[in-house]
Structure 1
Amino acid sequence: MNYLLTNIEWDTDGVDPDELELPTELSINLENDGIDDLDNVSDWLSNKYGWTVNGYSCDANEVLKP
């Protein structure tokens, strides 16, 4: 299933996330991206981009169609 993550907030130790080219919005597919469930999205983001995630929005109404 595809989801749209928005308002992704990164803990970058004071570095501007734009300078690090970190996304603030991202489309994910749980199965294709190897994410067990939505509870593991923060860990997946941190592993993929190398920075801790403070938070993000993921609304069931924002589900994207493939």
Structure 2
Amino acid sequence: MESNIDHLTKSVDHLTAHVDRLPTQNWVENRISTRLIKNFQWLVGLEITIIGIIVPVIITYFLNN
């Protein structure tokens, strides 16, 4: 009986150690929001780059015609 209790205690301690290493909810939320912000910044930068290329081409086309 004593060995079963010792075994269960070791198992619980082992599981607790694994659970303690899992990321917290705040960490996950911060990670997601950081990624969303980075993706949004990347998308805005891409759109600005595309607009910066297309607008001068269109203006040049209309001014030359």
The two structures share one fold, judged by TM-score above 0.5? no
Structure number with greater Rg is: 2
Higher relative contact order (CA 8 A, sep 6+): 1
TM-score by length of 1: 0.19
- Between Structure 1 and Structure 2, which shows a larger proportion of helix residues? 2
- Between Structure 1 and Structure 2, which shows a larger proportion of strand residues? 1
TM-score by length of 2: 0.19
